[in-house]
């Protein structure tokens, strides 16, 4: 860290609680082999995603090139570089769900929350993620919202299901 605090603190910004927490995470992992992924995981838990300035702070704090931090963050699908919604909607597009109408379910969700695949609503309530398989083929077509599984869906059921998660 070349003697400076991480995360842009050297540019005279006032540190908030998250910056202080990130500095603590970096201190705990500094000098340890294989620290980058756990640091990225904890930083994402802290911020909800990995903002550019946080990745720069991690690079500085672990004395790594920013390109390496960015490369790892973009390689693994568990890391997100944009803010995500409070409610993550995963729509199964696997074979069983596909043949039972998953495309219509996805279309209904897109219409209801006005978001494209992979997008997040402006109010950060929902993020829509198509996935290859949820592993609940007997319930096809199926979606997961956070940790809740909803199966044997019809497009008409979508508005009522989503309503349960709005503003929660």
pLDDT in tens, 79-114: 999 999 999 999 999 999 999 999 999 999 999 999
Q: What is the pTM of this model?
A: 0.77
Non-local (6+) Cβ contacts of 160 within 8 A are none
133 annotated to bind ligand: yes
Non-local (6+) Cβ contacts of 59 within 8 A are 65, 66, 68, 69
Q: Which residue has the tokens 């829509």?
A: 128
Q: Can you give the pLDDT at residue 14?
A: 52
Q: Can you give the pLDDT at residue 4?
A: 42
Q: Can you give the pLDDT at residue 2?
A: 41
Q: Which CATH class is domain 87-167?
A: alpha beta
97 annotated to bind ligand: yes
Q: Can you give the pLDDT at residue 28?
A: 95
Closest CA to 143 of 19, 37, 113: 113
> Cα–Cα–Cα angle for 135, 139, 144, nearest 5°?
60
Residue 10 has pLDDT above 50, yes or no: no
Mean pLDDT in residue range 151-166: 97
Mean pLDDT in residue range 121-132: 96
The rounded distance, in Å, linking the Cα atoms of 110 and 91 is 11
The pLDDT-based confidence of 16 (bands split at 50, 70, 90) is confident
């Amino acid at each position: 860290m070349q003697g400076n605090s991480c995360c842009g603190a050297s540019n005279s910004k006032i540190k908030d609680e998250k910056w202080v927490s990130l500095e603590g995470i970096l201190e705990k992992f500094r000098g340890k082999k294989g620290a980058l992924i756990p640091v990225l995981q904890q930083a994402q838990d802290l911020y909800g995603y990995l903002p550019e300035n946080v990745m720069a702070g991690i690079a500085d704090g672990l004395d790594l090139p920013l390109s390496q931090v960015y490369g790892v963050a973009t390689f693994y699908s568990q890391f997100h570089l944009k803010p995500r919604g409070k409610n993550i909607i995963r729509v199964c597009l696997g074979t069983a769900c596909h043949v039972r109408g998953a495309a219509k379910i996805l279309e209904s969700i897109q219409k209801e929350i006005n978001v494209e695949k992979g997008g997040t609503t402006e109010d950060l309530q929902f993020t829509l993620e198509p996935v290859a398989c949820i592993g609940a083929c007997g319930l096809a077509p199926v979606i997961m919202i956070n940790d809740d599984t909803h199966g044997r869906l019809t497009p008409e059921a979508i508005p009522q299901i989503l309503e349960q998660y709005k503003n929660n």
